[in-house]
């Protein structure tokens, strides 16, 4: 019997065949080196998700221009010298059976000069309400430069062996800043109307398509809703997607910017899968594969979204932080053993906001996958006192290293804190 038949049916994004419909979306980790190189830590982190069964892994945003670097530990793809290490990276991820894409990004006004060591640029001289650093408006030469930077970065990604690229047009970064009436107050060909505000994104995608060719898959990430009065709404987003559809093979539908960050990463107060109907609206307008995202933490919900026709692929980001084996467990009928994401923000979003490397409240191995644990000699017998989460974790870790386990708990049940 096939569990979750739609979720585990292969899917296509342009010429790329993906083994199932589960996507690991781009999650900023701060695991790259200070110079933007791939590290063993980042490789092992994503290898684990590939071995766990994810169909497509979209690697976190790599900055295409030095003035577009968003975090201290951001990936870079603005120079050719990054290609060899990225090539090793793609070979190892693809060896797990997963397809691998790279997101290309320019942070625009959602970064700081302390990070980029350069002036911050944006469509207009309006500071991000969160970062609160006034940017320099891009002139025509600056726009042409960044369009070329995206094109060169796409060429490098293809040369490094990525199966696809994703252009980040959501979450308040530079392309989003041109698309949004809130951040774009220009009165030239790049502002004033929806037709003009989409011009920057269209020029980037057109140049990228010229560079990588018609056969190379290109995904565009967009906000269906900005959730700020006067910002991008669903009607405007649908218009943008229709305008950009000829240049892309799939659209990845999200929501929010730094000023509405709660919609980028939703908390446990939000309804699971709340953004999926928005993805469905866009899917009905563009006739291209759509990736839905937004607190989709269970295979049951993922299957329901596919059955409703709201999406063709399901992005499960924090769910794959909490349990990288979620796809494998779901496929073999062991969904009940999946470690659930709590939507708590504590390890992922909150740490990143403080410019720290990410972790996970329910999975202490996140970011530690590169640290190997040697086998214990002599098959030792270990006594573990306490049958809560810590005791369970210790028992599992020691058992995997070759120990025999006895676990004791003073109460008449296991599970840790609760009624005495």
Catalytic residues: 173
Task: Count the neighbouring beta carbons within 10 Å of the beta carbon of residue 341.
Answer: 25
Residue 223 · residue 254 · CB < 8 Å = yes
Q: Distance between CA 102 and CA 58 in Å, rounded?
A: 5
Closest listed residue to residue 275, CA positions, set 345, 344, 224: 224
CA distance 156 to 356: 28
CB-neighbour burial class of residue 114 (10 A; exposed 0-12, middle 13-18, buried 19+): exposed
- CA–CA distance from 22 to each of 25, 54, 102, 322 (Å)? 9, 5, 16, 15
Contacts of 19 (CB under 8 A, 6+ apart): 10, 55, 97, 98, 99
Which residue bears the tokens 């959730």? 227
């Amino acid at each position: 019997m096939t569990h979750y038949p739609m979720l585990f049916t292969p899917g296509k994004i342009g010429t790329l065949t993906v083994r199932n419909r589960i996507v690991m979306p781009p999650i900023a980790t701060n695991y790259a080196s200070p110079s933007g190189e791939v590290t063993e830590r980042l490789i092992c982190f994503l290898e684990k998700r590939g071995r766990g069964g994810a169909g497509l892994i979209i690697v976190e945003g790599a900055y295409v221009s030095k003035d577009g670097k968003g975090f201290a530990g951001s990936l870079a793809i603005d120079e050719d010298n990054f290609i060899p290490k990225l090539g090793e990276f793609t070979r190892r991820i693809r060896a797990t059976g997963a397809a691998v894409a790279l997101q290309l990004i320019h942070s625009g006004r959602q970064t700081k000069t302390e990070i980029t060591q350069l002036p911050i640029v944006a469509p207009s001289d309006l500071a991000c309400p969160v970062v609160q650093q006034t940017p320099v408006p891009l002139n025509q030469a600056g726009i042409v430069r960044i369009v070329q930077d995206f094109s060169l970065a796409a060429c490098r990604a293809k040369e490094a062996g990525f199966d696809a690229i994703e252009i980040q047009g959501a979450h308040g970064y530079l392309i989003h800043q041109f698309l949004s009436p809130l951040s774009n107050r220009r009165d030239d060909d790049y502002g004033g109307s929806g037709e003009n505000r989409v011009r920057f994104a269209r020029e980037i995608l057109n140049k990228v398509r010229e560079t990588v060719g018609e056969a190379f898959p290109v995904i565009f990430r967009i906000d269906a809703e900005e959730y700020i009065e006067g910002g991008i709404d669903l009607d405007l987003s649908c218009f943008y997607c229709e305008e950009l559809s000829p240049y892309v093979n799939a659209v990845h539908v999200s929501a929010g910017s730094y000023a509405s960050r709660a919609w980028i990463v939703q908390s446990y107060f939000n309804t699971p899968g709340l953004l999926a109907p928005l993805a469905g609206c866009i899917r009905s307008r563009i006739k291209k594969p759509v990736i839905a995202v937004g607190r989709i933490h269970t295979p049951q919900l993922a299957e329901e979204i596919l059955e409703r026709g709201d999406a063709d692929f399901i992005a499960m980001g924090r769910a794959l932080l909490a349990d990288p084996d979620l796809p494998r467990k779901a496929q073999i009928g062991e969904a009940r053993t999946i470690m659930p994401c709590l939507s708590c923000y504590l390890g992922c979003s909150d740490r990143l906001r403080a410019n720290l490397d990410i972790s996970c409240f329910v999975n202490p191995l996140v970011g530690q996958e590169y640290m190997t644990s040697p086998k214990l000699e002599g098959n030792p017998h270990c006594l573990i006192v306490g049958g809560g989460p810590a005791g369970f974790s210790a028992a599992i870790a020691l058992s995997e290293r070759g120990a025999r386990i006895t676990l004791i708990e003073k109460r008449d049940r296991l599970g840790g804190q609760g009624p005495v």
